[in-house]
Structure 1
Amino acid sequence: MRTDLQARNEGARRFRNALLLAGGGFRRRWGTVDLAGLSGISRLETYGIGDGDERLLVFGGGQFQVRNLDGSLVQSLTSGVPWGVIHLNSMQVAIEDGKIIVTSNSFAPHLLSLNAGTWSIAPLSFSDGLNGAKLQPYWRFVERGVSLTPSGYSGSVSLTTSAAFFTAQHVGSRIRYTGVEIQITAVTNATSATGTVIGSLKPTLTLTVGSTAGFSIGQEVQGKDTQIRGVVSAVSGSTLTVQMLDGFTPFDTAEKLVGPTAETSISAVGTAATPAATTDWDEALISAARGYPGACALHRNRLLLGDFPSAQNVMAASATGDIQDFSTGTGLETDAIIERVGRETSLGLRHFGSTEQLLMFTEAGPYYVPEQVAAPLSPSNFELLKIGPEAAAAPQPLLVSEGMAFIERDSGRLMICIPTGNVRRSWEIADLSELAFHLMGEPVEIELVSAGTESDRLVTLLRSDGQIAPLSYRRSAQFSGWGLWTTTGAWKSLVVAGGFLFVVSARIVNGSPVYRLERFDPSAWADDMVSLSSPTTAVPLYANRTVGVWSGPSKIGEFPVNASGVIQGLDESVGPVQVGLDFPVTVETMPPVDQQRGLRPMMKITRADIDAVESVGFKVEGRDPSGWSGATVAGAVTPTTGVRRFRPLGRRKYPTITITQDVGGPLEIRSITMEVTS
């Protein structure tokens, strides 16, 4: 009702199943062509770049498929697939260089690998370190001050903690005692377990010193000459018990021991019979006991993991060039990174955004790492700066030319993080669904369709109710152009590959749900269209239901299909036909505005000139425009170009012009010109 807003005067009151054109006006949205049947609800991703290299990845319940863009099956995997239908919308997928990482809080991360043209699947394993160690991420979950005491240096040892820690789910996972791994083999109770030392634990030393004055338990000490480090675990008379932190070479008796508050000479060095209790220990960040990461991405040759259930504000980045190496090592620029995001431990890290700078979408809004060409993401360059308070929802963010688009959790609106080019404030957030937020529904997925000869770029937003809200996206446009696409049944997933938009559809056929892989096509006038060489060719997909039948751009009519899939009542001489599910197009203009007085009490549209291009029948206010071919005429209908005049009747407070097309066929409206009187 804001007649002073330019967006209102450039908008439509309704825009259903239509597509904005790059040069102005609109056309009927693309229909879809049927490609293949699917076993159930599925999620689509794409792999490969360039003509002939792209493939469709189909994630189904307990199934993974690779398909060509024509829908033909390349490979199918069922063994070892951990995800079910309930995981498809929540799990995240990162794809790069013959590897696909799949993460979910519900199962361990899995790796799909392509070798010699064949895909295989296995839980994500970590690279091997020295002496059988695993280069996996570790984190300190227990409270500060809780100690761990092993009963021996090697082999099978008893493990005792000073507070409750162990659970039955720890069996099989690893902990680290001063950096050396111990694999837990059995759990007795919350403070007692058994484990196998991977290699040998660093020795606990008994040092006879000149004086223990000034040394305290928990202090880190260092050999003045050897630079060997250790932690004081006991002080008794002239003896210090020190748990070594660096290697297995002990202190030298000819050097001094230096601490934060004291320095003393060493006269003798011995090894304790059993390791000392220490607070320098941690456990695997990813395990059945601590849960599995829900977020993943690939950025600058690193695998990023986040959304850890027991460490929600922690992110882990692999070493450069090895997505299975998460060892932080000595903090070299290529070593792995394990850091907190934000100050609150309950801050959920939901998504990563890989652009020229790393973005992290959290429950408190997006952050970014101020990377530069000469200073990429590294242990020494990990500064997190906040962009804004807009928290991200479940759908994975989408990379577009201007930045990273994402769904805001609280409002469901489509937002975008845009680089500003400024030094002090590098990113800002804009709303792409302003004045159209009512069309967002509950977003599930978002995809970008590149601009073509007919339309600008499209951001297609899939809603939980199976409808698509398309955004015609032009850099130079002041406003975003949203609409709504509907279909018989629902769409369940979408992806762009080879310049086309592919979808998974769910429809009821013969009383049962049927799931199909389909492709949007500008020459398809209906959904799930199937081409038949003759009217007698069986189409089992539509057995026992009624379908629309087309001969080229002309719809012949609606016909029943028998149990064998053969169309009934159709003249066999028609020749090749296409069958599918028709959909209506509705575009209603906004009420015209008096430029000086705004909305008048009563107005009348005295005439409307509709400029159509290569279109078949459509209706204006429910009637065919004068001189236009009827939409329901059987047989061939020649698409027509020209301006047809329509004269509405009566005065209304909010007069509009509604253009509809109930029967599928070419429809392109270049302009609508109205004469209005009050």
Structure 2
Amino acid sequence: MKTNFTAGEISRRLLGRGDLRAYDNGALALRNLFIHPTGGVTRRSGLAFVDPARGDGRLVAFEFNTEQTYLLVFSEGRIDVYGNDTPIAGVAAPWTAAQLPQITWTQSADTLLICHPDVPPRKLTRSGANAWALTDWSYVAEGERVAMPFFRFADPAVTLAPSGTDGLVTVTASAPVFDPRQAGTRLRIQGKQLRVEGVVSGTQVTATVLETLAGTAATTAWDEQSFSPLRGWPVSAAFHQDRLVIGGSRDLPNRLWLSRSADLWNFDLGTGKDDEAKQFSKNDHLKTIG
């Protein structure tokens, strides 16, 4: 009985050389196996023909539990789901063949989060063995307030002045900071959220006030949602210590956003308590430890 194969395959010229350690620790042929330093071997994982592919794409493993595992086949405009080497479901997807090499993903329980810097992130959810759905990310909402990440992209000296404190207002900037791709996105003025309804010019937009504003004076205390058609979308995501972590975006590649502890879709920074959301960049970290 042999229990050690650390010598790997031995030459036929060593057959019968029981006086050599290599003979005792080797085998005549080892095929499709991994040899472990501890002496044992395991079968090498491989591929088997299951079904014709729709075209170029990505293969993603989805493990719901130890007994229910699936293979997700990403191709242009499509995700096909296979279970036990059999196609069981399929959903339409927004990624082109050219974008597929850059997608990233992370899984927790029955949910797979998928990111690409040029496409709004999606959430693939398994609600049953044959029931799968692809939806947009949705952040925690309290009334009209959405707890999504915000960031100040414009120069710190630029001010915004709303024409009113509620309802439909006109927001005027002191310098050109607006773009037509911001229509439908959110701004914050002194911490209060507005939804941009239309972009009039580089210095003016119309917006619906979602939280009553403090006043109409021009202020530098404003920012905009971190992810949008103008600013790009998340590059990657991960789950860490009961938080959702977003790793960079197209226009903010070195920034991290961490959700509230045990509240994965809440990115409200609050007052800086330990369990509240956080965001920082690589440069912020270097300043802190410097």
Q: Same fold (TM over 0.5)?
A: yes
Computing the radius of gyration over CA atoms, which structure comes out larger, 1 or 2?
1
- Distance (Å, rounded) in 2 between the aligned partners of 1:160 and 1:154: 15
- Distance (Å, rounded) in 2 between the aligned partners of 1:49 and 1:114: 9
Q: Does 1:146 align with 2:161?
A: no
Match of 2:218 in 1: 277
Report the Cα offset of residue 35 of structure 1. 2.0
Q: Does 1:338 align with 2:274?
A: no
Question: Per the alignment, in what secondary structure is the counterpart of residue 48 of structure 2?
Answer: strand
- Distance (Å, rounded) in 1 between the aligned partners of 2:152 and 2:261: 24
Match of 1:328 in 2: 269
- Distance (Å, rounded) in 1 between the aligned partners of 2:68 and 2:40: 35
Q: Is the 8 A contact 2:64 2:110 kept in 1?
A: no
Matches within 5 A, 1:67-466: 67-68=82-83, 70-78=84-92, 81-117=93-129, 118-129=131-142, 131-202=143-214, 204=215, 275-342=216-283
Q: Is the 8 A contact 1:18 1:26 kept in 2?
A: no
Aligned-pair identity (%): 27
Q: With structure 1 as the length reference, what TM-score do the two structures score?
A: 0.36
Identify if the C-alpha distance between structure 1 residues 153 and 87 changes in structure 2 by more than 3 Å, giving closer, same or farther: same
Q: Is the 8 A contact 1:298 1:304 kept in 2?
A: yes
Q: Is the 8 A contact 1:341 1:384 kept in 2?
A: no
Identify if the C-alpha distance between structure 1 residues 50 and 186 changes in structure 2 by more than 3 Å, giving closer, same or farther: closer
Identify if the C-alpha distance between structure 1 residues 155 and 85 changes in structure 2 by more than 3 Å, giving closer, same or farther: same
Report the Cα offset of residue 28 of structure 1. 11
Identify if the C-alpha distance between structure 1 residues 36 and 163 changes in structure 2 by more than 3 Å, giving closer, same or farther: same
Deviations 1:608-653 (A, max 9, x none): xxxxxxxxxxxxxxxxxxxxxxxxxxxxxxxxxxxxxxxxxxxxxx
Identify if the C-alpha distance between structure 1 residues 31 and 95 changes in structure 2 by more than 3 Å, giving closer, same or farther: closer
Question: Per the alignment, in what secondary structure is the counterpart of residue 279 of structure 1?
Answer: coil
Match of 2:78 in 1: 63
Question: Per the alignment, in what secondary structure is the counterpart of residue 35 of structure 1?
Answer: coil
- Distance (Å, rounded) in 1 between the aligned partners of 2:63 and 2:195: 39
- Distance (Å, rounded) in 2 between the aligned partners of 1:83 and 1:174: 25
Match of 2:22 in 1: none
Match of 2:51 among 16, 36, 56: 36
Report the Cα offset of residue 342 of structure 1. 2.4
Deviations 1:577-601 (A, max 9, x none): xxxxxxxxxxxxxxxxxxxxxxxxx
Match of 1:657 in 2: none
Identify if the C-alpha distance between structure 1 residues 193 and 45 changes in structure 2 by more than 3 Å, giving closer, same or farther: same
Report the Cα offset of residue 25 of structure 1. 11
Q: Is the 8 A contact 2:231 2:251 kept in 1?
A: yes
- Distance (Å, rounded) in 2 between the aligned partners of 1:322 and 1:27: 41
- Distance (Å, rounded) in 2 between the aligned partners of 1:284 and 1:94: 23
Question: Per the alignment, in what secondary structure is the counterpart of residue 102 of structure 2?
Answer: coil
Q: Which amino acid aligns with 1:112?
A: L
Question: Per the alignment, in what secondary structure is the counterpart of residue 59 of structure 1?
Answer: strand
Identify if the C-alpha distance between structure 1 residues 100 and 385 changes in structure 2 by more than 3 Å, giving closer, same or farther: farther
Report the Cα offset of residue 186 of structure 1. 0.9
Identify if the C-alpha distance between structure 1 residues 38 and 22 changes in structure 2 by more than 3 Å, giving closer, same or farther: same
Identify if the C-alpha distance between structure 1 residues 173 and 50 changes in structure 2 by more than 3 Å, giving closer, same or farther: closer
Report the Cα offset of residue 385 of structure 1. 6.8
Aligned length: 258
Match of 2:35 in 1: 21
Identify if the C-alpha distance between structure 1 residues 162 and 52 changes in structure 2 by more than 3 Å, giving closer, same or farther: same
Report the Cα offset of residue 84 of structure 1. 1.9
Question: Per the alignment, in what secondary structure is the counterpart of residue 143 of structure 1?
Answer: coil
Report the Cα offset of residue 33 of structure 1. 3.0
Q: Is the 8 A contact 2:118 2:250 kept in 1?
A: no
Q: Which amino acid aligns with 1:170?
A: Q
Q: Which amino acid aligns with 1:108?
A: P
Report the Cα offset of residue 325 of structure 1. 1.3
Q: Greater RCO between the two (CA within 8 Å, min separation 6)?
A: 1
Identify if the C-alpha distance between structure 1 residues 153 and 85 changes in structure 2 by more than 3 Å, giving closer, same or farther: same
Q: Is the 8 A contact 2:121 2:136 kept in 1?
A: yes
Match of 1:573 in 2: none
- Distance (Å, rounded) in 2 between the aligned partners of 1:126 and 1:30: 39
Matches within 5 A, 1:545-584: none
Report the Cα offset of residue 312 of structure 1. 2.5
Identify if the C-alpha distance between structure 1 residues 51 and 109 changes in structure 2 by more than 3 Å, giving closer, same or farther: closer
Q: Which amino acid aligns with 1:126?
A: Y
Identify if the C-alpha distance between structure 1 residues 276 and 38 changes in structure 2 by more than 3 Å, giving closer, same or farther: same
Q: Is the 8 A contact 1:139 1:284 kept in 2?
A: yes
Unaligned regions of 5+ residues in structure 2, if any? 1-30
Identify if the C-alpha distance between structure 1 residues 325 and 50 changes in structure 2 by more than 3 Å, giving closer, same or farther: closer
Q: With structure 2 as the length reference, what TM-score do the two structures score?
A: 0.81
- Distance (Å, rounded) in 1 between the aligned partners of 2:195 and 2:150: 13
